[in-house]
Amino acid sequence: MNTRRALLVDAFTTEPLAGNAAGVVPDADGLSVEQMQAVARELSVSETAFLHPSASADRRIRYFTPTQEVDLCGHATVAAHAHLFEEGVLDAGVHTLETNVGDLDVEVTEDGVVWMTQSQPTVRPVDVDYDRASDALGVPVDSLRAVADDLPAAVASTGLPFLVLGVDFLEAMGGATPDTSAVAALADEYDATGVYLFTFDTLAAESTVHARMFAPGAGVPEDPVTGTASGACGAYLRHVGAFDALPEEMQFEQGAFVDRPGRVRVRVGDAVRVGGRAVTAFDGSLVVPDIEDDEILEA
């Protein structure tokens, strides 16, 4: 057994215990997949980032939910780099990051804002049974159909695919009562990591959209604030021509309905970038046991 430093860093906020908490293990060199999965399960936040040496970039990162590895995670990337910047491990500037979807650029500004360049976006329109989506999400079907002509359903990705659905009013978003099994099946049918709901009816006047994201199939019943999905939605909004002129920067608010409010900054140009701040809420150490293959029981 060995001991590793482990942190909980709240991303897309400047207030502790708000935004989206990410686990960060700043030195994961030598940990096996089984050990990283066990640590992520123990920290029990939506994603935990494990930092490793890299041959192709400044560092390698792997992301685990409590149940599985995922290829990309915006809020855990922001959390990890905000921690490294705070510790003086890296300076302001552009840094490269090796992920499962390729090497990406991460910029840290002098005042501590972390900007993550995401993978090239794809937007794939899909035919959705809105009655089924309504039943799965607990959102009135009329609230989905009301915007479907202008904001058609699509699977958007900037590294992770999300089923993107527009909703007419914030009240309908707040009243969502998702059936986790049905949501997981809905996302799986479209090869999506989760379902991302958004509306232009926002809490803050300066916000572009309000969003909620459900990914129970990946072990995340509801993600408080989702960087990668925000970037994917930004690409989607450009694709469907949601604005006469796409704003240079959009602000995505999320998390209010789970008491973890946060805000993601999104820029969609030649590349899609998501940005935000982060604050450390917990800093400690974790004992990582040796894990033998024969100790893992298969269901």
More confident residue, 152 or 289: 152
Fold of 2-117+278-294: Diaminopimelate Epimerase; Chain A, domain 1 (3.10.310)
Query: Does the structure show a pLDDT above 80 at 58?
Result: yes
> What pLDDT is stored for residue 293 in this prediction?
57
For the chain, the domains span 2-117+278-294, 122-270
Q: How many CA atoms lie within 13 A of 270 on its CB side?
A: 0
pLDDT over 80 at 292, yes or no: no
Q: What is the pLDDT of residue 44?
A: 96
For the chain, state the CA radius of gyration: 19
Tokens 């893992």 locate to 296
Question: 232: which residues sit within 8 A by CB, 6+ positions away?
Answer: 118, 121, 156, 157, 158, 160, 161, 162, 164, 196, 272
Active site residues: 47
The residue count of the chain comes to: 299
User: Is 3.10.310.10 the CATH number for 122-270?
Assistant: yes
pLDDT band at 298 (very low <50, low <70, confident <90, very high): very low
> Beta partners for 151?
none
Q: What is the mean pLDDT of the chain?
A: 96
Tens-place pLDDT, residues 172-204: 999 999 999 999 999 999 999 999 999 999 999
* Whole-prediction pTM: 0.91
Q: Count other C-beta atoms under 10 Å from residue 54's C-beta.
A: 15
User: In the structure encoding, which two tokens stand for residue 69, read together?
Assistant: 């590895």
pLDDT at 291: 80
Query: Computed from CA positions of residues 241, 161, 158, 109, in that sequence, does the dihedral angle turn out positive or negative?
Result: positive
Q: What's the number of CA atoms in the CB half-sphere (13 Å) around residue 99?
A: 27
Half-sphere exposure of 200 (CA within 13 A, CB side): 9
Residue 4 tokens, joined: 């590793």
Strand partners, 199: 210
Indicate if 122-270 has the same CATH topology as 2-117+278-294: yes
pLDDT score of 299: 47
pLDDT tens digits along 89-114? 999 999 999 999 999 999 999 999 99
